[in-house]
Chain A
């Protein structure tokens, strides 16, 4: 339809590309796909404190309530000079709200009136032990990579001039590593979020959901 009015200036002119519709909703988990895995829930120190309390073992509500209070302690002034009397105690309604939040994000679960963690929380000691092994892994990798680097540069000299070849190589090796580790049952067979882009992941989950339901 031809038109000669001023509105013609506002009409869209150009090629229209209709891409396949990406579901914003993650069918596998029934949640928005772009929600970060552990979101704002940990902004609040009270919720962090609840997780720390549960890290020592499953607890009843009453036990959480009794352990959840903050009292200040001066850094320099000794108890002989001054004894602090104030403390901050949370009410049951507020703690219930926090627990509900943590449950909703699957960080804790309630079973037979007992709350327990669903994620590992490491103590400083365990975290340090883990750190030692991270260092061991990476030191071994550095040895391998430095040995292979020269060989790679010789074999792929053309590419090497134009690209950040080593970085790409290492990224791809890590992707492959995850696949092989899963094959060997050294790690569980779940999607590696670091490797897959969000779109890819959604697409995979959507296809799986289709397979299951249709």
Chain B
């Protein structure tokens, strides 16, 4: 693999999330990698047990990422979809297949540091076989102008006895207009953990997230945790849907949202449906401001109310 010329600004934004940028550079470290610089594949590295293929299309790429049966990878598969321009359209169509008995972490990073009219769309399909342990972490950085329009959609099928963890982080920079839709179908004995964190910082930020888990197999379990903050006119709307369609499945949705400043809007709509009579689904939602007691506790250590609120937001939106 020849030395790539990957834009510094794209990789630099990773540091906001305490991610070591060198992990994303081809030729550095271990792990399969796919790097996109706008609509050009600027880096692709394979490892044993992983088939990675990408093809550029008019406004983006199509990619297949296949983890072969029995493969257990220690080093994450890195996907970096960066755009170093203000405007443009980037469309990504990934198809990720993890065969039976695999263990893998996929770390995706979408960075648009100069976005000002940029459109990013993703339509991904994930198929996770039986007895797998699959973690998918996606971190986003959309610059400081609220100038991005980002719409990722994911359909995820999780096979029997598998564990799937989904982490989505949009807490640094200004998000812009974001619409996320994730549908997860959980088969027998599978476990789904979905953690979503988002922070809308100004009037131009609007974040709408719909995270659905359909428990389709006996004893499937899930927990969706959605945490968001909206300040200075930002808007966050979270739909957390859990359906118990199979016997003895168990799901929980937790929404926590903090509203700061005039004009900020936070809405949480947990939808829980127990279709099978032996299933059990629950939800908790708390919206508004932090309990006064928490603010008092921190202020008694010399922090102002703004500083205390900032600390609490960071704690709430912290990756677990």
| Contact surface of A with B, Cβ cutoff 8 Å | 40, 43-46, 70-72, 74-77, 81-82, 84-86, 88, 90-91, 93-94, 97-98, 100-101
A97 contacts B159, C-beta separation under 8 Å: no
Question: Which residue among A45, A71, A101 has the maximum number of chain B CB atoms within 10 Å of its CB?
Answer: A45
Q: How far apart are the CA atoms of A100 and B243 in the complex, in Å? A: 14
B212 contacts A43, C-beta separation under 8 Å: yes
Q: Which of B99, B216, B217 contacts A85 (CB 8 A)?
A: B99
B232-272 interface bits toward A, Cβ cutoff 8 Å, 1 = contact, 0 = none: 00000000010101110000000000000000000000010
What chain A residues lie within 8 Å of B127 (beta carbons)? Answer: 70-72, 84, 86, 88
What chain A residues lie within 8 Å of B218 (beta carbons)? Answer: 91, 93
Q: Which of A75, A88, A97 contacts B275 (CB 8 A)?
A: A97
A86-B97 contact given A40-B271, A77-B53, CB 8 Å threshold: yes
B62 contacts A76, C-beta separation under 8 Å: yes
Any A CB within 8 A of the CB of B196: no
Q: Which of B55, B64, B159, B246 contacts A86 (CB 8 A)?
A: B159
What chain B residues lie within 8 Å of A70 (beta carbons)? Answer: 127, 157
What chain B residues lie within 8 Å of A94 (beta carbons)? Answer: 216-217, 245-246, 276
7 new A-B contacts at CB < 8 Å, known A86-B99, A93-B218: A45-B214, A81-B51, A91-B246, A93-B246, A94-B216, A94-B246, A97-B275
Question: For residue B99, which residue of chain A has the nearest CB?
Answer: A86
Any A CB within 8 A of the CB of B208: no
What chain B residues lie within 8 Å of A85 (beta carbons)? Answer: 69, 99-100
Q: How far apart are the CA atoms of A97 and B279 in the complex, in Å? A: 11
B117-138 interface bits toward A, Cβ cutoff 8 Å, 1 = contact, 0 = none: 0000000010101100000000
Any A CB within 8 A of the CB of B95: yes
Question: For residue A101, which residue of chain B has the nearest CB?
Answer: B275
Q: How far apart are the CA atoms of A88 and B159 in the complex, in Å? A: 7
Interface residues of B in 175-233 (CB under 8 A from A): 183, 185, 187-188, 212, 214, 216-218
Question: For residue B63, which residue of chain A has the nearest CB?
Answer: A76
Q: How far apart are the CA atoms of A101 and B279 in the complex, in Å? A: 15
Q: Give the A-B contact count at a CB cut-off of 8 A.
A: 89
A72 contacts B125, C-beta separation under 8 Å: yes
A76-B271 contact given A88-B159, A94-B246, A98-B245, CB 8 Å threshold: no
A86-B100 contact given A43-B212, A44-B214, CB 8 Å threshold: yes
What chain B residues lie within 8 Å of A72 (beta carbons)? Answer: 95, 97, 125, 127, 157
Q: How far apart are the CA atoms of A99 and B159 in the complex, in Å? A: 22
Interchain Cβ contacts under 8 Å between A and B, 11 examples: A43-B212, A45-B185, A72-B97, A74-B64, A76-B53, A76-B63, A76-B64, A84-B99, A91-B188, A94-B246, A97-B275
Q: How far apart are the CA atoms of A86 and B102 in the complex, in Å? A: 12
Q: How far apart are the CA atoms of A74 and B67 in the complex, in Å? A: 12
A45-B51 contact given A85-B99, A97-B246, CB 8 Å threshold: no
Q: Which of B97, B217, B246, B273 contacts A84 (CB 8 A)?
A: B97
What chain B residues lie within 8 Å of A81 (beta carbons)? Answer: 51
Q: Which of B53, B62, B66, B157 contacts A88 (CB 8 A)?
A: B157
Q: How far apart are the CA atoms of A1 and B159 in the complex, in Å? A: 70
Shortest B157–chain A CB gap in Å is 5
What chain A residues lie within 8 Å of B93 (beta carbons)? Answer: 75
A44 contacts B243, C-beta separation under 8 Å: yes
A82 contacts B212, C-beta separation under 8 Å: no
What chain B residues lie within 8 Å of A101 (beta carbons)? Answer: 275
What chain A residues lie within 8 Å of B51 (beta carbons)? Answer: 77, 81-82
Closest 4 interchain pairs by CB?
A72-B127, A86-B129, A74-B64, A94-B246
A97 contacts B183, C-beta separation under 8 Å: no
B187 contacts A88, C-beta separation under 8 Å: yes
What chain B residues lie within 8 Å of A98 (beta carbons)? Answer: 245, 275
Q: How far apart are the CA atoms of A19 and B63 in the complex, in Å? A: 61
B185 contacts A46, C-beta separation under 8 Å: yes
B214 contacts A46, C-beta separation under 8 Å: yes
Q: Which of A74, A77, A88 contacts B185 (CB 8 A)?
A: A88
